Amino acid sequence: MSQNLPPNNQRFYIALGVMAALVLVCIGAFTYVAGAFTSKIPEGAPTNTPLPPPVVSIQKIKAQAELSTVEYSTITEVYNETPPEGIVDEFLGNREKLLMLVYGDVQAGFDLSELSDEDIWSDGKKVRLVLPAPKILNSSIDFDRTHIVYYENKLIFDSNNPNLQGEALKQAKDAIEEAALKEGILNRANDYGRLYYQNFLYSLGFTDVEVVVNAQIFKK
């Protein structure tokens, strides 16, 4: 003769069965997820390969030969004269002179042929470049705008000096370079050159970049 369980015991065993089923479901789900993550990557699937460190050589930088970073346009006055010769010329004021207004352009930057292998150092993504001192690379006279603003000829016995203007133009090249130096063209070439190479090295993949100028040569 069977004996029925009390209602309270029936509910207890039912709840216990439900809990056991939930535990089994959770274990199964965990096993499936773990298997998906730990399974081998299919052949041919892409993998994350670390990139090689960036590389730069001094030859790559020297290939730019002369790097002009600043071009400066200037105006300067150049004076030239044919002085008197002897006491008679001095007494008579025998002389020829002119004043010329000279327009010109001056370019400054770096002569990269001066670089050596010791001027660049890299370690992983760190790099340090030492540039040579900036210098004037080129200067030219704008002959279309250059002109004589004053000319005086007090020669009595002598003919005009045909080289007077040519000698003034020779002085003019030095004069426009001197004017550009006084305006700080080398300082600006230094600043722009450092910025240019910082950006250049960052573009290669370096993240820690230092660009300096040879302080033993260049003085601001």
pLDDT, one tens digit per residue, over 58-93 is 777 777 667 777 888 888 888 887 665 655 455 445
Q: What is the pLDDT of residue 131?
A: 92
**Looking at the predicted structure, is the pLDDT value of residue 15 above 50?**
yes
- Residue 115 has a CB neighbour count (10 Å cut-off) of 18
The structure tokens 């025998």 sit at 94
Q: What is the pLDDT of residue 220?
A: 45
pLDDT higher for 215 or 156? 215
Q: How far is CA 29 from CA 24, 33, 34, 38, in A?
A: 9, 6, 9, 14
Average pLDDT over residues 9-37: 58
**Looking at the predicted structure, is the pLDDT value of residue 44 above 50?**
yes
Q: What is the pLDDT of residue 104?
A: 92
**Looking at the predicted structure, is the pLDDT value of residue 31 above 70?**
no
**Looking at the predicted structure, is the pLDDT value of residue 49 above 70?**
no
Tokens at residue 72, please? Answer: 């400066």
Q: What residue spans define the domains of the chain?
A: 58-213
Which pLDDT band holds residue 29 (cuts at 50, 70, 90)?
A: low
Mean pLDDT of the chain: 75
From CA 101, how far away is CA 150, in angstroms rounded? 9
From CA 115, how far away is CA 103, in angstroms rounded? 33
**Looking at the predicted structure, is the pLDDT value of residue 2 above 50?**
no
The structure tokens 């970073």 sit at 69
User: Judging by beta carbons within 10 Å of its beta carbon (0-12, 13-18, 19+), is residue 186 exposed, middle or buried?
Assistant: buried
Q: What is the pLDDT of residue 160?
A: 59
Which pLDDT band holds residue 27 (cuts at 50, 70, 90)?
A: low
Of 78-87, 96-105, 143-152, the poorest mean pLDDT is in: 78-87
DSSP-derived secondary structure letter, 111: E
Q: What is the pLDDT of residue 97?
A: 80
In three-state secondary structure terms, 114 is helix
Q: What is the pLDDT of residue 148?
A: 85
